[in-house]
Amino acid sequence: MWEGGRLRPEARHKSFHRRPSQQNQLHILDPRERLLNSAATPYNWAYHRFVTLLACGTLLLIVAGALVTSNDAGLSVPDWPTTFGSLYRIPPMIGGVKFEHGHRMVAELIGFLTIILAVWTWRAERRSWMRKLGIVALGTVIAQGVLGGITVLLYLPPAVSTTHATLGQTFFCLIVIMVMVTGREWMEVPPVMVVEQHRPRLRTLATLAAASVYLQLILGAAFRHSGIKLLPHLVSAVVVTVLLLWTATRILSEHSAVPQLRRPARALLILLLVQLALGVGAYLTRVEWGKGAAQPMLSMVVATVAHAAVGALVLATSVVLAVQTYRHTSPEAEAVVAHPAPSKVVA
Amino acid sequence: MNKKTYVALLLVVGLMFVAGCGKKEAPPEQATAKPEAAAAPAAKIDPATVATVSGVAKFDGAAPKAQKIDMSQDPACKGTNETETVVVDNGNLENVFIYVKDGLGNYSFDVPKTPVKLDQQGCRYHPHVLGVMAGQTVQILNSDNTTHNIHPSPKDNREWNESQPPKGAALNKDFARQEVLIPVKCNQHPWMKMYIGVVKNPFFAVTGKDGKYELKGLPPGTYTIAAVHEKFGEQTQTVTVAAKDSKSQNFTFKAGAGGAGGQ
């Protein structure tokens, strides 16, 4: 069944079924456990694809927003919710206007798609927490739009702009979670319960890692919007790197048989390396070489926008990993079976 | 309170917050308000005794080269353009704002009715540094065939941001409080930057290519003269002038000095 620390493909399906004695134990899972387990809602191909499309669109919106900041175009359209006095007329897309109004147009599209998402989720989902998640997503996107308007009307105060940047990525995480929990794997494959021998527990570690990335996002956004100096963001980068490396290597060394954990852990490692390289690039092009530049340099725009976008991917992946650790590790399973090996799938 | 009451309360608070976040107008104030005038009667300058302070703003060292600006993002921005942050000609420093910072006591000054002009042409500001009295009108023109937005970022005055269509009607604005220097930018064309010096007296000047300035019509007395540059910061000197006197006072800026709080 085990082959070089991995589960053989033909054995994988069997391994998801627990022994009757363990099933009895799992009947008393706490509500949090029940929340993360798949319910009786059938997999809906079209709905899942729609949520995936919305996630991709949201990443595009984050890029569009980052382009506004990097090109210093946040106030090129001085009014809101109108653009140069009109709610529907598209202005000449030149200069800073193409970034600011382009951002507004993508945001309007995402807002519209989120309304569809909330209605579709409400009608199609049997999981009540998913229906609530759809409403929360809609509320978040509305709040995000209002924050975007407020920051324009108040001439980009750092606190509001930082909140706008942070809430945008929070919304992205929400949609990515919805992509995960509407996927075929989540809907049709029962969770694997891995047994942990080490402390801290994996779910604790993964939650800490995701929380540190979120804090890093806030600090990065605050620096980008001139609210704080660079040092807190740099110090936090060290903490994030340590936590992500710890979490990912722990999973890859002890739980690589569980694809739901292995895949985001691997992705996190790659994204972390890319993000660190982009962070250095953003620092050089913006802080070192870009100091006193007459206008935003292309290299600075590319580096800072990519840093923001990959940062969003790091955050979303770390959140996915944290959720998956809650789904695939269980204190009850640990109590039931004590393995001599570091961890194994309960089979 | 039940759930519905909580939701209703939250909505009301949210709406109040949004409503309270709109543009706030600064409270109206007297453009030429002088607290000292209330304590003592305002003095009038005797034209027969006025003196002049003049001089040159110099730059010591190798001047940084002007950066070329890429204006290709807007086809309406024609011609060549380069930064005007440090403009040095034969050691003379252009765009230094020089004014009487202190020493005028309780003299009162009428705000000129003639507006000062600020034009946007070739996607750059003309002039790069502008002096104006507090309360005096700044007439902003757009001679370009593209939309600009004018966005001053003052610390002591009200911030505003308005767009101006191609060759659109002039915008008339004023600044109520003394503030040197207020950075002004166009968010549509991020290279467009200029500075406005707002003072409470009429004794100010901006150095030209030859670095020269002249402050005419000063009553006899001892004054603090300040010279402010957007990159090199402020220098002050004290000068005493007698009736009908003419004094020379030069300023020398060096590379590596701090900024004036602009951008």
- Chain B: closest CA distance from residue A120 (Å): 24
Asked if B70 lies within 8 A of A295 by C-beta distance, the reply is yes
- Rounded Cα distance between A292 and A282, Å, is 15
Does residue A154 belong to the interface with chain B, where contact is any CB pair within 8 Å? yes
Quickly tell me which residue has 């962070």 as its tokens: A279
- Contacts for A282 with CB less than 8 Å, ≥ 6 apart: A300, A303, A304, A307
Nearest neighbour of B163 by CB, restricted to A72, A84, A154? A84
What would the two tokens of residue B78 be? Answer: 């024609």
Q: At residue A336, does pLDDT exceed 50?
A: no
Residues 6+ apart with CB under 8 A from B151: A75, A78, A155, B159, B160, B161, B162, B184, B185, B186, B187
Question: What pLDDT does residue B207 have?
Answer: 96
Check: CB of residue A179 under 8 Å from CB of residue A313.
no
Strands (E) located in B103-249: 116-121, 124-126, 129-133, 138-142, 148-152, 162-164, 171-173, 179-185, 193-199, 204-206, 212-218, 221-229, 233-241, 246-248
Question: Does B63 contact chain A (CB < 8 Å)?
Answer: no
From residue A200, alpha-carbon distances to A204, A247, A293, A337, B156 in Å are: 6, 10, 47, 18, 53
pTM: 0.82
- Chain B environment of A94 (Cβ under 8 Å): 73-76, 146, 188
Residues 287-346 of A with CB under 8 A from B: 292-296
Judged by CB atoms closer than 8 Å, whether chains meet at B188 and A73 is answered as yes
- Across B43-59, average pLDDT: 90
8 Å CB contact between A310 and A278? yes
Give the pLDDT of residue B129.
97
With 60 as the cut, is the pLDDT of residue B235 above it?
yes
Average pLDDT of span B102-109:
88
Q: Is the peptide bond before B127 cis (omega within 30 degrees of 0)?
A: yes
What tokens were used for A61?
Answer: 């919106």
pLDDT digit string, tens, across residues A173-195? 999 999 999 999 999 888 888 88
Question: Could you tell me the pLDDT band of residue B210, with boundaries at 50, 70 and 90?
Answer: very high
Is the Cβ pair B147, A77 closer than 8 Å? no
A293 to chain B, closest Cα gap in Å? 8
Tell me the shortest Cα–Cα distance from A172 to chain B, in angstroms.
Answer: 23
By the CB < 8 Å criterion, does B151 face chain A? yes
Cβ neighbours around A196 below 10 Å, total: 21
Is there a cis peptide before residue B152, judged by omega within 30 degrees of 0? no
Q: Which class for B148: exposed (0-12), middle (13-18), buried (19 or more C-beta within 10 A)?
A: buried
- Region B21-37: mean pLDDT is 39
| Helices then strands, each counted (H, E), chain B | 2, 19
Question: A240 vs A87, A198, A199, A243, B138, CA distance in Å?
Answer: 42, 21, 19, 5, 51
Dihedral over Cα of B91, B97, B102, B107: its sign: positive
Average pLDDT over residues A245-250: 96
Angle between helices A231-254 and A298-328 (to 10 degrees): 40
SS3 B111: coil
- Give yes or no for a contact between B176 and B154, defined as CB atoms under 8 angstroms apart: no
Looking at the complex, report in whole angstroms how far the Cα of residue B169 sits from the nearest Cα belonging to chain A: 15
Distances in Å between the alpha carbon of A216 and those of A109, A219, A221, A237?
Answer: 28, 5, 8, 7
Quote the pLDDT of residue B155: 94
Q: Is the pLDDT of residue B78 over 70?
A: yes
**CA separation for the pair A106, A125 (Å, rounded):** 27
Model ipTM value: 0.76
Nearest to B162 among A76, A78, A154 (CB): A78
Residue A159 has pLDDT above 50, yes or no: yes
Q: In B, residues 31-60, which contact A (CB 8 Å cutoff)?
A: none
What is the token pair recorded at A195? 């047994």
Instruction: List, for residues B130-151, the tens digit of each pLDDT value.
Output: 999 999 999 999 999 999 999 9
- Between CA B49 and CA A209 the distance in angstroms is 76
CA–CA dist A252, A305 (Å, integer):
30
**CB spacing of A155 vs B159 below 8 angstroms:** yes
Q: Which residues contact A173 (CB under 8 A, 6 or more apart)?
A: A315, A316, A319
Rounded to a whole number of angstroms, the CA Rg of chain B reads: 22
Residue B22 pLDDT: 39
As given in the structure block, the two tokens for residue A136 are: 């929360």
Look at A97 and B147 and tell me if their CB atoms are within 8 Å.
yes
Looking at beta carbons, which residues of chain B come within 8 Å of A161?
Answer: none
**Rounded to 10 degrees, what is the CA torsion of A78, A84, A88, A92?**
-100
- State the sign of the Cα–Cα–Cα–Cα dihedral B175, B179, B185, B191: positive
Distance from CA of A94 to the nearest CA of B (A): 6
pLDDT of residue B255: 78
The answer to whether the Cβ–Cβ distance between A295 and B76 falls below 8 Å is no
Q: Which residues of A touch B76 (CB under 8 A)?
A: 94
Percent of chain A with pLDDT over 90: 74
Q: Mark yes or no for CB contact A96/B162 under 8 Å.
A: no
Contacts of A150 in chain B (CB under 8 A): 18, 21
Residue A207 Cα, gap to closest chain B Cα (Å): 30
Query: Quick one: DSSP state of residue A288?
Result: I
Tell whether A102 is within 8 A of chain B (Cβ): no
Contact between chains at B190 and A96 (C-beta distance less than 8 A): yes
Structure tokens at A217: 């996002």
Question: Which one has a higher pLDDT value, A286 or B6?
Answer: A286
Q: Which of residues 244-263 of A touch B (CB under 8 A)?
A: none
Alpha-carbon gap, residue B195 to B97, rounded angstroms:
9
Which residues from chain A sit within 8 angstroms of residue B153, using beta carbons? 155
Q: Which residues of chain A lie closer than 8 angstroms to B161, CB-CB?
A: 75, 78, 155
Question: Does B36 have pLDDT greater than 80?
Answer: no
Q: Do B163 and A96 touch (CB under 8 A)?
A: no
pLDDT confidence bin for A345, thresholds 50/70/90: very low
pLDDT of B125: 96
* pLDDT tens digits for range A111-154: 999 999 999 999 999 999 999 999 999 999 999 999 999 999 99
Residue B56 has pLDDT above 50, yes or no: yes
Phi first, then psi, for residue B74 (nearest 5°) are -130, 110
Residue A70 in tokens: 């990097």
Residues of chain B in contact with residue A92, where contact means CB-CB under 8 angstroms, are: 147
Q: Is the pLDDT of residue A30 over 80?
A: no
Separation of alpha carbons B189 and B193, rounded Å: 9
Q: How far is B25 from chain A (nearest CA, A)?
A: 12
Cα A300 from Cα B190, distance rounded (Å): 14
Tokens standing for residue B22: 């709109």
pLDDT at B80: 84
Cβ of A155 within 8 Å of Cβ of B74? The answer is: no
- Residue B190: its chain A contacts at CB < 8 A? 71-73, 96, 295-296
Of B22, B153, B162, the CB nearest to A153: B22
Confidence check: pLDDT of A40 > 80: no
Please give the helix or strand (H or E) that residue A305 lies within, else none: helix A298-328
Contacts of B187 in chain A (CB under 8 A): 72-76, 96, 100
SS3 B183: strand
For residue A177, the distance in angstroms to the closest alpha carbon of chain B comes to: 26
Q: How far is B39 from chain A (nearest CA, A)?
A: 38
CB of A215 closer than 8 Å to CB of A236:
yes
Q: Name the residue among B21, B70, B74 with its Cβ closest to that of A95.
A: B74
Confidence of residue B79 (pLDDT cuts 50, 70, 90): confident
